[in-house]
Amino acid sequence: MEITVKDVEYLAEAAKFEFTEDEKQKFAQALSDVINAVDVLAQTDTQGVQPTIYVISVKNVFREDEVLPSMDRDILLKNAADVQDGCYRVPKVVE
């Protein structure tokens, strides 16, 4: 399929682009080359080829949810300005 300068002008107008005559010629040729490359791919025999979503195999990358020991609460709260019931106490910021 050949893309003409008229096709490029139509697309440029729809996209609100402005091109010189030289640019229109270059884009028409470039778009024609892309369409022709896709046409070649469309003619490729893919009978018996499994569809592929990913090029490499993908596996679950999530780790198991395990409870692990963490830092001691008393050590974490040691330098807090104000503590209440084992939690940081901060001034109210929402009325």
Tens of pLDDT, residues 25-64: 999 999 999 999 999 999 999 898 888 887 887 777 788 8
Compute the half-sphere exposure of residue 80: CA atoms within 13 Å on the CB side of its CA: 16
- Mean local confidence (pLDDT), 63-75: 90
Rounded to whole angstroms, the Cα distance separating 37 from 56 reads 25
The two tokens of residue 8 are 């490029």
**What are the C-alpha distances in Å from 70 to residues 22, 47, 92?**
67, 55, 28
pTM to 2 decimal places: 0.50
Question: Cα dihedral sign for 45, 49, 53, 57?
Answer: negative
Provide the pLDDT for residue 52: 82
| Average model confidence (pLDDT) across the chain | 91
Provide the pLDDT for residue 58: 74
Domain ranges of the chain: 1-88
Provide the pLDDT for residue 36: 94
